């Protein structure tokens, strides 16, 4: 049995709802742009390379004795 009145329960429920809304808003502001960028890159990113064009450059091996 709780000692809270009905008015106190409603106030607590309102505060809980406000906390959840703020939490969801902050998560959307943090992760929304990252998810949007990933979706945009996948949808609008580079497609297959045209004929005669290398898709990716290969890194040349460094000569022996060179530190990097």
pLDDT number for residue 44: 87
Q: Quick check: 68 pLDDT over 80?
A: no
Q: 53 phi and psi, to 5 degrees?
A: -120, 130
pTM: 0.45
Measured between alpha carbons, how far is residue 67 from residues 42, 57, 64 in Å? 36, 22, 8
Q: Where are the domains of the chain?
A: 9-40
CA atoms of 68 and 55, how far apart (whole Å) = 26
pLDDT digits (tens, 9 = 90+) for 9-44: 777 788 889 999 999 999 999 999 999 998 888 888
pLDDT number for residue 21: 93
pLDDT number for residue 15: 85
């Amino acid at each position: 049995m709780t000692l809270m009145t009905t008015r106190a329960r409603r106030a607590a429920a309102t505060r809980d709802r406000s906390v959840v809304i703020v939490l969801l808003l902050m998560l959307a502001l943090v992760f929304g742009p990252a998810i949007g960028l990933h979706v945009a890159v996948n949808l609008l990113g580079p497609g297959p390379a045209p004929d005669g064009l290398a898709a990716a450059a290969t890194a040349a091996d460094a000569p022996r004795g060179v530190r990097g």
